[in-house]
Amino acid sequence: MSELTEGEAAPAFEMPASGGRTVSLAAYAGRPFLLYFYPKADTPGCTQEACAFQEALPALAATGLDVIGVSPDPMKAIEKFATKYALTFPLASDADKKTAEAYGTWVEKSMYGRKYMGMERSTFLIDAHGKIARIWRSIKIPGHAAAVLAAAQAL
């Protein structure tokens, strides 16, 4: 697992995304963006988080910030999720979990005493120079989009 710290270079990535798009670190060179990792499309928590970012999108865009959501789901599930909730920002498929591993979000979890690997709900604010400006790990959804917006405005 990667232990990234604020101020270091963001790991490179390239993934297919909703709407026939491709997202990559290189494509966002010179622009700040938000990379958030979520466990599974169209589940209650992930839906609440995605809708909160969609609602905050105009304010985030006013700061020059783009948003990218990342899950290990296949593109078919991601496209269905994006369409169902009218999510306009790219949702990327990290099916091989390489990006999650690079960002340290593919972690061992435990439920009812059973251990398994899964996606840690985490958010990374990447500045225009490709450096990690802010990291939120194991986030709680209520108020998270507002905290991200405050950090983006401070960039």
For residue 134, pLDDT over 90 is answered with: yes
Burial class (CB in 10 A: 0-12, 13-18, 19+), 125: buried
Q: Are 92 and 16 in contact (CB under 8 A)?
A: yes
The structure's pTM equals 0.94
Contacts of residue 25, defined as CB under 8 A and 6 or more positions apart, other chains included, come to 10, 11, 12, 13, 14, 126, 130
Q: Which residue among the candidates 23, 34, 35, 46 is catalytic per the annotation? A: 46
The residue type found at 70 is V
Phi and psi dihedrals of 46, rounded to 5?
A: -70, -35
- Residue 46 bears catalytic tag: yes
For residue 1, pLDDT over 70 is answered with: no
Q: What is the pLDDT of residues 41-99, one digit of tens each?
A: 999 999 999 999 999 999 999 999 999 999 999 999 999 999 999 999 999 999 999 99
Residue with token string 């690997």:
117
Q: What is the band of 117 on the pLDDT scale with cuts at 50, 70, 90?
A: very high
CATH topology of domain 33-154: Glutaredoxin (3.40.30)
- Looking at the chain, the whole-number percentage of residues with pLDDT higher than 90 is 91
- Looking at the chain, the whole-number percentage of residues with pLDDT higher than 70 is 99
Least confident of 1-10, 15-24, 31-40: 1-10
Rg of the chain, C-alpha, whole Å: 14
For residue 2, pLDDT over 80 is answered with: no
The residue type found at 73 is D
Pair of tokens at residue 58: 């105009």
Q: Rounded CA gap, 120 and 54, in Å?
A: 20
Buried b (16+ CB within 10 A) or exposed e, 10-33: bbebebbbbeeeebebeebeeebb
Residue with token string 């604010």:
125
For residue 111, pLDDT over 90 is answered with: no
Query: Domain residues of the chain, as ranges?
Result: 33-154
Q: What angle do CA 155, 97, 58 make, to 5 degrees?
A: 35
